[in-house]
């Protein structure tokens, strides 16, 4: 009887040890599997899909807009992205959204990168990764042509209605000088410009080259670039933005952009979309 009982205890102990070891082994395999999955980079996932998903506005002439005849999405940065993706052997899927939505969508993984005249700033680099810059500019102000929206100097901006999107470096400039913010959500250039023309807003602070093209596109509106207002932005230039940890994706994008800058592909696209201006060169301007 005692012998049978001892045998039972021994079998129970051995079975328990095997169960525990088996459980540990399973957990170990599960953790190892998760760890391996965690090693899959955003670049590897993009390569597996064969598609780069890109956030852009589709409303920012001439960098991202719809052609009036074909209604196809085009523009300086749209074409830069298309050529870059082609050299990386990837298809491109553009997702149109407001700038604020781009940052959220990058963090959620809904898009891989965003390209929409996005300024590279130290503050943004704390949260996101950027490609190397491929466009340089400065900020100017569109005002009414007949009276310059009653703005002679930067001090006169205080209390004036400044149109823009909330989180841009350009709205930061307007806030700095005490303007009243009028926030738009991925509105077209025409909406912005007609509101200044009609007196619903007083000024738009934005990229000089974009504003120069906008004026050429709407010559009949009572608007102009203020002759005396130029603003230096806290920017290292314009680049594509992506997740902070997308190191391999960032490297592949940078390598390709450097090739495109070296063979002047981006310079040619710049001159095509910015009326002969080469935005890949830093402007030599006095602010």
**pLDDT computed for residue 178 by the predictor:** 97
pLDDT higher than 60, residue 267: yes
Cis peptide before 62 (omega within 30 of 0): yes
Does residue 106 contact residue 242 with C-beta atoms inside 8 Å?
yes
pLDDT higher than 50, residue 30: no
Task: Look up residue 191 and give its two tokens.
Answer: 């909406």
- The model's pTM: 0.75
CATH (one of 3.40.50.720, 3.40.640.10, 3.90.550.10, 3.40.190.10) for 42-136+236-273: 3.40.190.10
Residues 240 and 41: their CA atoms lie apart, in Å, by: 18
In the predicted model, what is the mean pLDDT of residues 257-269? 98
Question: What is the percent of the chain where pLDDT is above 70?
Answer: 85
**pLDDT computed for residue 285 by the predictor:** 59
**pLDDT computed for residue 225 by the predictor:** 97
Does residue 242 contact residue 132 with C-beta atoms inside 8 Å?
no
CATH number of 139-231: 3.40.190.10
Q: What is the DSSP letter of 188?
A: -
Nearest Cα to Cα of residue 92 among 239, 261, 240, 237: 240
In the predicted model, what is the mean pLDDT of residues 172-199? 93
> Rg of the Cα trace of the chain?
27
Residues 129 and 248: their CA atoms lie apart, in Å, by: 11
**pLDDT computed for residue 146 by the predictor:** 97
pLDDT band at residue 186 using 50, 70 and 90 as cut-offs = confident
pLDDT higher than 60, residue 95: yes
pLDDT band at residue 201 using 50, 70 and 90 as cut-offs = very high
Read off the pLDDT of residues 134-145 as tens digits, 9 standing for 90 and up.
999 999 999 999
pLDDT higher than 90, residue 6: no
Nearest Cα to Cα of residue 113 among 254, 246, 261: 246
| Domain boundaries of the chain, sorted by first residue | 1-39, 42-136+236-273, 139-231
- Give me the numbers of helices (H) and strands (E) for the chain, helices first please: 10, 13
Q: How many CB atoms lie within 10 A of CB 175?
A: 15
In the predicted model, what is the mean pLDDT of residues 246-251? 97
Task: Look up residue 77 and give its two tokens.
Answer: 């940065």
Read off the pLDDT of residues 217-240 as tens digits, 9 standing for 90 and up.
899 999 999 999 999 888 899 999
State the residue for tokens 């940078």.
254
In the predicted model, what is the mean pLDDT of residues 231-257? 95
pLDDT band at residue 3 using 50, 70 and 90 as cut-offs = very low
In the predicted model, what is the mean pLDDT of residues 53-67? 95
- Percentages helix, strand, coil for the chain, rounded to the nearest 5? 45, 20, 35
139-231 and 42-136+236-273 share a CATH fold: yes
State the residue for tokens 């500019």.
137
Task: Look up residue 94 and give its two tokens.
Answer: 């553009």
What average pLDDT does the chain have?
87
If phi over 0 gives left and psi between -120 and 50 gives alpha, with beta otherwise, what is residue 257? Answer: alpha
**pLDDT computed for residue 245 by the predictor:** 95
pLDDT band at residue 25 using 50, 70 and 90 as cut-offs = very low
Helix axis angle, 247-262 to 265-273, nearest 10° = 80
Does residue 99 contact residue 91 with C-beta atoms inside 8 Å?
no
Read off the pLDDT of residues 146-155 as tens digits, 9 standing for 90 and up.
999 999 999 9
Does residue 264 contact residue 186 with C-beta atoms inside 8 Å?
no
The H-or-E segment that residue 199 falls in is none
């Amino acid at each position: 009887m005692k012998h049978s009982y001892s045998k039972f205890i021994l079998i129970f102990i051995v079975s328990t040890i095997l169960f525990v070891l088996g459980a540990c082994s399973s957990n170990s395999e599960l953790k190892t599997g998760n760890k391996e999955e965690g090693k899959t980079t955003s670049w590897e996932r993009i390569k597996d899909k064969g598609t780069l998903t890109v956030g852009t506005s589709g409303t920012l002439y001439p960098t991202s807009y719809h052609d009036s005849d074909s209604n196809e999405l085009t523009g300086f940065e749209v074409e830069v992205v298309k050529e870059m993706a082609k050299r990386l052997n990837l298809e491109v899927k553009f997702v149109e959204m407001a700038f604020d939505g781009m940052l959220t969508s990058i963090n959620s993984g809904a898009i891989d990168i965003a390209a929409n005249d996005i300024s590279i700033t130290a503050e943004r680099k704390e949260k996101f990764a950027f490609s190397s810059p491929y466009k340089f500019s400065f900020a100017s102000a569109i005002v009414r042509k007949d009276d310059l929206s009653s703005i002679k100097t930067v001090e006169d901006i205080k209390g004036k209605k400044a149109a823009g999107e909330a989180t841009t470096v350009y709205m930061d400039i307007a806030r700095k000088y005490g303007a009243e913010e009028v926030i738009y959500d991925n509105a077209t250039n025409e909406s912005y410009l007609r509101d200044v023309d009609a007196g619903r807003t007083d000024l738009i602070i934005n990229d000089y080259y974009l504003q120069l093209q906008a004026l050429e596109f709407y010559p009949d509106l009572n608007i102009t670039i203020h002759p005396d207002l130029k603003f230096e932005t806290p920017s290292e230039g314009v680049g594509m933005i992506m997740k902070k940890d997308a190191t391999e994706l960032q490297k592949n994008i940078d390598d390709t952009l450097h090739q495109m800058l070296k063979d002047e592909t981006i310079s040619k696209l710049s001159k095509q979309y910015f009326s002969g201006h080469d935005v890949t060169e830093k402007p030599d301007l006095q602010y």
